[in-house]
Structure 1
Amino acid sequence: MNYTLHQLEIFRTIAQLQSVTKASEQLFLTQPAVSIQLKNFQDQFNLPLFEVVGRKLYITEFGEEISETAFKILEQVQSIKYKSAIFEGKIAGKLNISIVSTAKYTMPFFLSDFINANETVSLTMNVTNKMAVLRSLENNECDFAMVSTIPKKLKIERIELMKNKLYLIANRDFNSTKKKILLKDLNTNLFIFREPGSATRLAMEQYLIEHRVTIRKKMELTSNEAVKQAIIAGLGISIMPVIGIKNELQNGDLQIIDIKGLPIETNWNLIWLKSKNLSLVAKAFKNHIELKKEAIIQQHFSWFNDSN
C-alpha cells in the first residue's frame, strides 16, 4: 500500500460528511480532484470503503474502521507538527472557543491577528446559543467562551471586551412618524423572538415584562440572521443586538426605533473556568486579548461604540 496523508485526510472528511461534494467544499478542493483521490485510495484495498445507493454515498463498516484509523494517524501527524514548532520556540497547539451567536460578529476580529501570527495554532470555534456555550464551558470542552451574561453557577475568570447594545429594530416601512413611540403602540405588531436559551431572548423578555408590554402576536426563530431577514421582509419587529446589522442600517433596510428604556446595554466577556489549567496556546491568546483588545475595538468597532 502506498496511500498518502492527503488521501487519508480526504477520505476521513468524506466519511464524516457522507458526501464528496461537501468534502470538496470543506477542503477547498474541486469535486473532481476529491473523486480522483478517493478512487486512488479505494484501489489500495480489496474491500469496499463505500457504496453508492441511488445518488447517496454510504461508508461501509470496513470504511468506518479505516476512517477512525485515519483520524488517529492525522492526529499524530498534527502532534508532530506541534512538537516541532514548540521546539522551534513557536506557539503551537489547539485553541477551542465557544461563543454565543451574536459574538460571531465580534470574536473573529479578536482572533484574526493572533491566528495569522501563529500558523501552528489550530482553531475550533463553536457558534451556538448561551445555554449550549455554558454547557460546553462547564464540561471542559472549550478553553474560552464569549458571552454577554456572566454565569452565576460557575466559578469563572473573565476579560471584559466591549459593550453589547440591543435596540428595537423594524424594517424601512415601519411607521415611525412619532418622535417617541409609546409602549402601547407596539401591541399590534408581531414580535420576533430568538429561541429559548438565547441571551438575546432573555434580555427581550425581561424588557417586555419590566415595561408591562403584552404580546399579542409572536414568532420564534433560531438565529439572529433569521430574525434580521424576517424583519427586513416586514414580518415583524424585534429587540436585537445592533452589532450584526451595521450594513442594513446604513443602506436603510432596517431602522432603530426610539423607545423608552432602550438600548439595553450588556458587555461581551471572554470567560474561562477558574479551575481551568490553560494550555500554552490558551495563555498566549489570553495575553494577546489583554494587550490588544482596546486597539482592536478602536480599529473595528468605533462605529458601534459611537451609536446612541
Structure 2
Amino acid sequence: MHYTLHQLQIFLQIVEKKSITKASEVLFLTQPAVSIQLKKFQEQFPIPLTEVIGRQLYVTDFGHEIAETAKSILEEIQIIDYKTKQYQGKLAGKLKLSIVSTGKYVMPYFLSGFLNDHTGVDFSMDVTNKKNVIHDLEENKVDFALVSVLPDHLDLETLPLMKNELFLVGNALREKSRKGDRELIFSKEPLLYREEGSATRNAMESFIQGKNLMASKKIELTSNEALKQAVIAGIGYSIMPIIGIKNAIDRGDIVIIPYAGLPLKTQWNLIWLKKKKLSPAALAFKEYIIKNKDQITEKHFDWASKE
C-alpha cells in the first residue's frame, strides 16, 4: 500500500463531515480534487470504504475502522511535530477552548499575544451557546471554557477576566417614536430572545420573571449577531451584553434604555475542570492570562469600566 498522509487527512474529513463537498470546504480543496484522492485511497483496499446510495455518501463499517486508525496515525505524526519543536526550544501542543457566543467579542484579545509568541501551538476554539460549552467541559473535549455564568454542578477552577453587563436595548428610531411608560416595552413590544441554552436568554428570562413582568410577543434568534441585527432593524427590544453592541451604540443604531434593576452584572470567567491535567501549552496559556489579563482589559476594554 502506498497511501499518503494527505489521503488519510482527506478521508478522515470525509468521514467526519459525511460529505465530499463539506470536506473540500474544510480542506480548502476543490470537490474534484477530494474525489480523486478518495478514489486513489479506496483503490488500495479490497473492501469498500464508502458507498453512495442515491446521492448520499455513506461510510462502511470497514471505512469507520480505517478512519479510527487514520486518526491515530495523524495524531502520532502531530506528536512527532510537537516533540521536534520542543527540542528546538519552542512551546508546542494543542490548545482547545469552548466559549459562549458573546465571548467572541472578548476572547480573541486574550489570545492574540499568546498565539503570536508561541507559533508552535495549534489552537482551536468552538463558539457556541452555554449549554454546549458546559457539555464540552463535562466530556473533557477542551482545556478551557469562557462563560459569564458559572455552572454549579462541576468542580471547577475559575479565573475572572473582566465584568459583563446586560442592558435593555432597542432601535433608536423605534424607541424615539414609542409611546407610554418603559414598563410597557415588556407587555406591548416584541421581545427578542436568544435560543434555549443561551446564558443571555437565561438572564433575560430571569429578570422578566423576577420583576413579574408580562412578556408580549417573543422572537427567537440563534446567535448574538443575529439578535443585534434584529434590534438594529427595529424588530423589537432585548436585554443584551454591551460587549457585543458597543459599536452599534456608538453609531446611534442602538440605544440603552434605563430600567430599574438593570444592567444585570456578571463576570467573564475562564474556567477548567479541577481534575484536568493541563498540557504544557494549556499551563503556559493559563500563566499568560494571569500575568497579562489586567493589562489586556485596560488596553482593549477600558470603556467597559466607564459605562
Partner residue of 2:81? Answer: 81
**Are the structure 2 counterparts of residues 47 and 161 from structure 1 closer, same or farther at C-alpha, using a change threshold of 3 Å?**
same
Give 1:238 shift: 0.7
Which residue type is aligned with residue 279 of structure 2? S
**Aligned partners of 2:47, 2:267: CA distance in 1, in Å?**
56
**Which has the larger displacement, 209-218 or 156-165?**
209-218
Contact 1:144–1:272 under 8 Å retained in 2: yes
Q: Secondary structure at the match of 2:133?
A: helix
Contact 1:168–1:238 under 8 Å retained in 2: yes
Partner residue of 2:66? Answer: 66
Matched, 1:224 2:224: yes
**Aligned partners of 1:282, 1:6: CA distance in 2, in Å?**
28
**Which has the larger displacement, 1-10 or 97-106?**
97-106
Partner residue of 2:182? Answer: 182
Give 1:284 shift: 0.2
**Which has the larger displacement, 249-258 or 89-98?**
249-258
**Aligned partners of 2:35, 2:153: CA distance in 1, in Å?**
50
Contact 1:184–1:213 under 8 Å retained in 2: no
**Which has the larger displacement, 53-62 or 76-85?**
53-62
Give 1:32 shift: 3.4
Contact 1:180–1:258 under 8 Å retained in 2: no
Partner residue of 2:148? Answer: 148
**Aligned partners of 2:185, 2:58: CA distance in 1, in Å?**
56
Give 1:221 shift: 3.2
**Aligned partners of 1:177, 1:259: CA distance in 2, in Å?**
18
Partner residue of 1:203? Answer: 203
Which residue type is aligned with residue 156 of structure 2? I
Q: Secondary structure at the match of 1:97?
A: strand
Partner residue of 2:90? Answer: 90
Partner residue of 1:39? Answer: 39
Partner residue of 1:212? Answer: 212
**Aligned partners of 1:247, 1:7: CA distance in 2, in Å?**
45
Contact 1:157–1:274 under 8 Å retained in 2: yes
Deviations 1:82-138 (A, max 9, x none): 222223332222222222221122112212222233233222323333233234334
**Are the structure 2 counterparts of residues 140 and 58 from structure 1 closer, same or farther at C-alpha, using a change threshold of 3 Å?**
closer
Contact 2:186–2:214 under 8 Å retained in 1: no
Partner residue of 2:49? Answer: 49
**Aligned partners of 2:226, 2:87: CA distance in 1, in Å?**
47
Gap regions ≥5 residues in structure 2: none
Q: Secondary structure at the match of 1:161?
A: strand
Partner residue of 1:241? Answer: 241
**Are the structure 2 counterparts of residues 61 and 178 from structure 1 closer, same or farther at C-alpha, using a change threshold of 3 Å?**
closer
**Aligned partners of 2:32, 2:113: CA distance in 1, in Å?**
34
Give 1:181 shift: 5.5
**Which has the larger displacement, 134-143 or 272-281?**
134-143
**Aligned partners of 1:266, 1:180: CA distance in 2, in Å?**
30
Deviations 1:239-269 (A, max 9, x none): 0112222443344443322333322221101
Partner residue of 1:23? Answer: 23
Give 1:19 shift: 1.7
Contact 2:191–2:236 under 8 Å retained in 1: yes
Contact 1:50–1:58 under 8 Å retained in 2: yes
CA RMSD of aligned residues (A): 2.6
Partner residue of 1:109? Answer: 109
Which residue type is aligned with residue 146 of structure 1? L
**Aligned partners of 2:85, 2:98: CA distance in 1, in Å?**
25
**Aligned partners of 1:191, 1:292: CA distance in 2, in Å?**
39
Contact 2:185–2:237 under 8 Å retained in 1: no
Q: Secondary structure at the match of 1:267?
A: strand
Which residue type is aligned with residue 288 of structure 1? Y
**Aligned partners of 2:22, 2:218: CA distance in 1, in Å?**
36
Partner residue of 1:158? Answer: 158
Q: Secondary structure at the match of 2:220?
A: strand
Gap regions ≥5 residues in structure 1: none
Partner residue of 2:192? Answer: 192
**Are the structure 2 counterparts of residues 193 and 78 from structure 1 closer, same or farther at C-alpha, using a change threshold of 3 Å?**
same
Partner residue of 1:265? Answer: 265
**How many matched pairs?**
307
Q: Secondary structure at the match of 2:215?
A: coil
Give identity over the alignment, percent. Answer: 54
Q: Secondary structure at the match of 1:173?
A: helix
Q: Secondary structure at the match of 1:96?
A: strand
TM-score (norm 2): 0.88
Contact 1:181–1:257 under 8 Å retained in 2: no
Which residue type is aligned with residue 196 of structure 1? E
